[in-house]
Copies of this chain bind each other. A is one copy, B any other.
């Protein structure tokens, strides 16, 4: 199957599964609308899709992995809502749409983020509660760790701390690895874990995730520098306005792109061991550096 078709197919599956998670509840107004607004604001569903990909690579059951994949998307969505707040990146647009707080106000945006994070863990606890599957416990723990202060939140904290400050390049890379890389890594590990892959395969998926996560974040910086409002759907150059140190500012546009391509080359080399079975993952890695939005 070609990548484009695969992404579309799996995106639809994820959308359907996500729609069943946050039902509207008229008893508690606005919060559900706020949660749903961002959850269905046109995300690429990259994290849940790579979770499924990793699961399929090890012949796992896709129906079994989908709730975990959805949880990763809920966590990703909450992080975007909070990142966009005036107290953080202060972004008015994301994917061409107004950000959550521009529609619902800062208070509901904070709560919707909290609620999506909490919902993700409610789902994971419920999956664990209703099963004796050891893999479920392991995957849930990995996801929570990657999302926490040693992972994604820690990355966001570094980002905030170095705003308007000179950030050393090693800290910038650490920030990227935590802010973006950790959850992408956890997505791939989760897919492999639920498929009951061997420890060594889970580790390999994690390493692959680490590399493509790094490349993904570099390309985000590159696209932010090169992009247009139309293509990316958010205010371009916002990082420059916020005086944020970016990878591109440090290495320059050309070297940054080269570094991203090198990382993807390394990532693809890692999964060659799975032969033709890993073609989709390799294509996805390629897509990360060749995308224009």
Is A114 at the interface (CB under 8 A from chain B)?
yes
Residue total for A at the interface (Cβ-Cβ under 8 A): 50
The answer to whether A149 and B115 touch across the interface, beta carbons within 8 angstroms, is yes
Q: Among residues 242 to 283 in chain A, which have CB atoms less than 8 Å away from a CB atom of chain B?
A: none
Name A134's closest neighbour in chain B (CB-CB): B129
Closest Cβ of chain B: how far from A119's Cβ, in Å? 6
Complex Cα distance, B85 from A105, in Å, reads 13
Could you say which of B28, B32, B117, B160 contacts A107, with CB atoms under 8 Å apart?
B160
List chain B residues, Cβ under 8 A from A137: 125, 128-129
Instruction: Name the B residues within 8 Å of A227 (CB-CB).
Output: none
Interface flag for A145 (CB, 8 Å): yes
Q: Are B161 and A148 interface neighbours, CB within 8 A?
A: no
Chain A 131-156 against B: per-residue CB contact (8 Å), 1 yes, 0 no?
00000011011001101110001101
Would you call A98 an interface residue if the criterion is a C-beta within 8 Å of the partner chain's C-beta atoms?
A: no
Interface positions of A from 180 to 227, Cβ below 8 Å from B: none
With both beta carbons as reference points, the residue of chain B lying nearest to A156 in the complex is identified as B111
Contact of A62 with B by CB under 8 A:
no
A117 close to B117 (CB less than 8 A): yes
A161 touches B118 (CB 8 A): no
Can you list 25 A-B pairs with a CB-CB distance of less than 8 A? A28-B154, A29-B161, A82-B114, A86-B106, A87-B106, A111-B153, A113-B114, A114-B114, A115-B148, A115-B154, A115-B157, A118-B144, A118-B149, A119-B148, A122-B144, A122-B148, A125-B137, A125-B140, A125-B141, A125-B144, A125-B145, A128-B137, A128-B141, A129-B137, A129-B141
Residues in A lying within 8 Å of B, measured CB to CB: 25, 27-32, 35, 82, 85-88, 105-111, 113-115, 117-119, 121-122, 124-126, 128-129, 137-138, 140-141, 144-145, 147-149, 153-154, 156-158, 160-161, 174
8 interchain residue pairs of minimum CB distance: A87-B106, A31-B157, A125-B141, A87-B107, A118-B148, A115-B149, A122-B144, A121-B121
